[in-house]
Amino acid sequence: MLGDWQSPVMVVLWGLIDPVAPGAGSMFLLIATSYWLGFGILALALARGSTWLALLLPLLALTPPAFVFVGIIWRDILFATAWLLAAAIIFAVSGSDARLRVPVQVLAIVLCALGVLLRPNALIAAPILAAYIVWPTQTSFKRMVILFVPAVVGFFALVQVTYYVALGATRQHPLQSIMVFDLGGISHFTRQNQFPVDWSESESVQLLNTCYQPTQWDIYWRLEPCDFVMRKVEREQKLFGTPAIVQAWANAVTRHPLAYVQHRAAFMWNFLSGNNSMMWLADVERPTENVFLDRPAFVALVRLHDKLKPTPLFRAGPWLLACGIVCVFAWRRRETPEAAFALGVCGSAAVYVLTFVAVGVASDFRYAYWGVLAGIVGGAVVGSGRPHPRVLGDGGDRRLSSTPAAHDILQRVID
């Protein structure tokens, strides 16, 4: 049975590709292929204008904050690599004629939509990437604003139709996990119970004082000793998934907005700066065992990850900041393909990471993974750009691009 707690699209997609390498292998190959194809296409596109950047980009793809997650099967990783590939193929054909560019744009929109279906909270960020896909040679704020609302509505409708009509997914009410987390946070900061249930004296003391941590909602769901919260809300009083939780959440937020802001700010600070969960070593088919500990190269990679884990490289905040800096730098040259690419990827990444201010229920580093990839490729591409002299073309005044022709890039891929 398909449910909407995790993306049913990933389940169906995994089933379709499973014959390629039954088990975890097929999904690993899909993630790894999209990752390296995205970086490879970008490197080829940069080769004509900057050989050293073309050589540097694959090395940047090996940096630990990006590379250590490629072998981990999470929808966050597939989401990020799908958007990376979408942006890369558009950058490669940005200077081509419509006969080649339009089919590639269609494919890129499909990859963008796949990202939303994998991570529905990407709904607000997707229009920024979609605007780049539609207009890849320059960025227009006016056109982005015009596109934004129709794109959000379209992507929202796509999620509803795909999840519940096409795939028949069961509604498991994942949005209410956000509400439970918020109710716990507001209860803690107000020292008043906000849940639509009554607690024993000892449960109330725990709920208001010791249970709350701005790290994850699992504290109320499956982690002792505070799992009594969901046990009573879901199993005993059967309120989870009902309007009672929605009403309690709405009442708590409207009556105690300051406590809500305190809770959300505490969570976001931990998400952006905390030493959160990072590289995952468990075998997907044998969760109690770690993988590849008999492989010296992998063990060396794990040791490097462990040494770098305390540094800003493995904090979401610096990558959000990097994306913001790239956007500021690119905006001044927004009429160039390189800047349009940087604004498309880093703009969407910054907005995506910021959506966790409102919807985050866990602070794992993987949730900022699109920000890592966008910061790397966006910075590299915008750094490769040069002023583009104006020339007279068929449509009047236009700018020359340093991006090589798509035919050349595709030929290099084939070769």
| pLDDT interval class at 42 (50, 70, 90) | very high
Q: Is residue 341 part of a domain?
A: yes
pLDDT of the residue at 405: 44
Same domain, yes or no, for 78 and 132? yes
What tens digit of pLDDT does each residue of 237-281 get? 999 999 999 999 999 999 999 999 999 999 999 999 999 988 877
In terms of C-beta distances under 8 Å and separation of at least 24 residues, what long-range contacts does 280-289 make, across chains too? 280/72, 280/74, 284/24, 284/73, 285/23, 285/24
Same domain, yes or no, for 15 and 163? yes
Q: SS3 for 290? A: strand
CA distances to 33, 121, 266, 379 from 132, in Å: 23, 19, 33, 16
Residue 226 has pLDDT above 80, yes or no: yes
Q: What is the CB-side half-sphere exposure of residue 192 using CA atoms within 13 A?
A: 10
Q: Is residue 290 part of a domain?
A: no
Same domain, yes or no, for 105 and 140? yes
pLDDT of the residue at 397: 39
Same domain, yes or no, for 162 and 181? no
Q: Is residue 362 part of a domain?
A: yes
What tens digit of pLDDT does each residue of 117-164 get? 999 999 999 999 999 999 999 999 999 999 999 999 999 999 999 999
CA 271, CA 310: separation in Å to the nearest integer? Answer: 14
Same domain, yes or no, for 154 and 180? no
Q: Is residue 408 part of a domain?
A: yes
Q: How many domains does the chain have?
A: 2
Q: Which of 221, 254, 273 is the last residue of a domain?
A: 273
Q: Is residue 283 part of a domain?
A: no
Cα–Cα nearest to 111, from 69, 152, 79 = 79
Q: Is residue 281 part of a domain?
A: no
Same domain, yes or no, for 155 and 31? yes
| pLDDT interval class at 282 (50, 70, 90) | confident
Same domain, yes or no, for 179 and 249? yes
> Model's pTM, two decimal places?
0.90
Q: Is residue 20 part of a domain?
A: yes
Residue 383 has pLDDT above 60, yes or no: yes
- Residue 252 sits in which domain range? 175-273
Top-confidence residue, 50 or 360: 360
Same domain, yes or no, for 259 and 380? no
Same domain, yes or no, for 200 and 324? no
Same domain, yes or no, for 147 and 213? no
Same domain, yes or no, for 268 and 320? no
Q: Is residue 201 part of a domain?
A: yes
| pLDDT interval class at 386 (50, 70, 90) | low
User: Which residue shows structure tokens 């339009």?
Assistant: 102
Same domain, yes or no, for 30 and 139? yes
